[in-house]
Amino acid sequence: MYLVFWSSLMSVIVYQMEGYIHAHYALFIALWVVFGSIAGNLAADYAVKKNGGKQTVFVWTLALVFLLSAGIIPFVAYEQLSNAYDLGTNIFGFTSMC
Mean pLDDT score, 54-64: 90
User: Residue 41 and residue 39: Cα distance in Å, rounded?
Assistant: 6
Whole-number pLDDT of residue 26 = 87
**pTM assigned to the model:** 0.55
Residue 69 scores a pLDDT above 90:
yes
Question: 75 — alpha (psi -120 to 50), left (phi > 0) or beta?
Answer: alpha
Inter-residue contact 21 to 12 (CB < 8 Å): yes
3-state secondary structure of 7: helix
Whole-number pLDDT of residue 93 = 80
Distance from chain centroid for Cα 14: 20
User: Residue 70 and residue 77: Cα distance in Å, rounded?
Assistant: 11
Residue 74 scores a pLDDT above 70:
yes
